[in-house]
Structure formats: C-alpha cells, structure tokens
Amino acid sequence: MQKITVLCVGKLKEAFYEQAVKEYEKRLSRCCKLELLELPEQRLGDEPSEAEIRQALKKEAALVEQRLSKGGALIAMCIEGQEMSSVALSQKMQQLAARGASQLTFLIGSSFGLDEDLKKKGADVIEEVVIQHPDMNRINPGSVNTIRVYTVLSDGVSNVVYACIRMGNSDRPVDNINAGGMYSPIDLETGKIACAACDKQRIVYERHPRSGCLLKGYQIPYWDKVMDICREAAHKVPQMGYIGWDVAITKDGPLFIEANNMPGHDAFPQMPLQAPDKIGILPVFQKYIKGL
C-alpha cells in the first residue's frame, strides 16, 4: 500500500474544513497509508516587502526539507503548475510508484506560496477543481450538489431506474447524506426535482434551509446529457450490473465524480416520506431484474 503524505505550511482554522479532512482521511485509509503534517507559517506584517516574503518562504522551505523522505517523490501544489484531472493524477501516482518512489508527498504552501527552489523539486501539479453550474449553486453554494443516478444493466441494455439530487446542509463542504446532507428524487422524464428533500433523520425540507431555494419543480440543467452519459458508462463496466453514478453539473455539462457499487442501500429510495404510494422502488427493479 502506497504511503502518501500531505505536507502543509500553515494550519486549518475553519471547523468545516477540518471535518472535510477527517471525512477524506476515512475514505482514503482503505487505499493508502495517509499522513497529514502541518508546519508553522512564518508571520509577516500587513504589507510585507518582496524581500521579506522571499525570506519567509526560505525559512518555511527549510522546515519542509526536514520532513521530506529520501527516495520519495514530491508534488508541489502551486498555482503555476500543470492542471491535472483526477484520472491523470492517478496515472501519475502509479508511474511514480512503478519507478520506486516509496512515498509520495503533496506539498501545499503558505499564504504567499512556495519557495522557488521547492517548486523546482516538485512535479508542480494542481488537480482540476469542480465548479458547479450556477443553477446548481443556487440550491446550495456550500457544496458541489451532485446527482446520483442508478443504472441497471439487463440483457445488454442500460436502464436508469432512479435518480436524486444530493445537497449539503451543514458546515461540511460535502453533499453526502451521512455527513449532514439531504436529497430529493428527480423526475426521470423531466429532470425536475420531484418533491421536498429529506435527510437521514427523515426531516422534510420544502426549501433548502441555507439558500431558501424552493426544491419541488426545480429544473436540473443538462438533464438529457446526464442520463446519456450514465447509460453509456454502465456499458463500460458490464461486470457491475447495478451502479450509482455521482454526477456534478458544470457550466459545460455533466462531469463524473465517482461510481458506487452499493449505492443508497441504506437511504435514498427507501425513505417512506418520499414514497406516498407506500410501494417504494421494488417494482421498478423487478421490471429489469428477472426473478427478483
């Protein structure tokens, strides 16, 4: 298992960022040995000179050098660097591991960035940032509000059986229902939010409590494209007949965040408050899965 260190100059101050870090530490623990290190940032006045900034960065660089492992690879996260998608970054990490890099360090600089010598040592990479569509941002600007689309592959045909929008509703910058978020079903024909939202405590929200946005009837942008890319993606992994796709909506269209092999088994389609017919989703699955 690869060892990964995130080395930061400066410390997190906002509670919601600390909560997000803990969430991702938990997720990544299954994939790698993760270590988070925070180093002190040099204090400067309100209007420091260029010379003072350079001197501070040199002092911070000296502390960083002491923490870098021998035989490891360094990726410096700086604004001048090459932007990479998640897939490209994953490939880069695999290449570094194949070359014998026993440890991979991601370096995040302080308020004034990184020392120039450190930048030259690092791979200078920034991962792509997801900026959601303005219409999705109006619902809740505190998180990327993703669409969960459920597909069932049956007899070579990809079928969308259910979809919902997930929305953040806490100080944590995530939309996960297990992290304080909530969700609403989406009408598959129109792409509009079908009814009020519900969280895991089964509290119902007609409007988003943070933005005031009325949820029922709200149109999800690029809906036809969302459905199309999920149906197409289901054929790429035919060994997984049932998948939950998390899709972000940007101004340029839908973007995959991740795929889930156990999607919503403890939450989404089973919430009774959003099934007024008291039937639930079983008949939908029986339509596509023989013998269920």
Q: pLDDT digits over 229-247, tens only?
A: 999 999 999 988 999 999 9
CA distance 76 to 65: 13
pLDDT recorded at residue 122: 66
**Residue 12 scores a pLDDT above 90:** no
CA distance 263 to 259: 9
- Split at pLDDT 50, 70, 90, the class of 270 is low
Tokens 């069932």 sit on residue: 152
More confident residue, 180 or 231: 231
Q: Which of 157, 161, 176 is nearest to 246 (CA)?
A: 176
**Residue 53 scores a pLDDT above 70:** yes
Average pLDDT of the chain to the nearest whole number: 86
Q: What angle do CA 183, 17, 168 make, to 5 degrees?
A: 10
- Split at pLDDT 50, 70, 90, the class of 126 is low
User: Are 162 and 268 in contact, with CB atoms under 8 Å apart?
Assistant: yes
pLDDT recorded at residue 272: 56
Sign of CA dihedral 171, 177, 182, 187: positive
pLDDT recorded at residue 265: 57
What percentage of residues in the chain have a pLDDT greater than 90?
40
Predicted model pTM: 0.63
Q: If you count DSSP H runs as helices and E runs as strands, how many of each does the chain have, helices first?
A: 7, 13
Most confident residue range from 75-84, 187-196, 266-275: 187-196
Beta strands 204-205 and 197-199 are: antiparallel
- Split at pLDDT 50, 70, 90, the class of 111 is confident
User: Are 196 and 269 in contact, with CB atoms under 8 Å apart?
Assistant: no
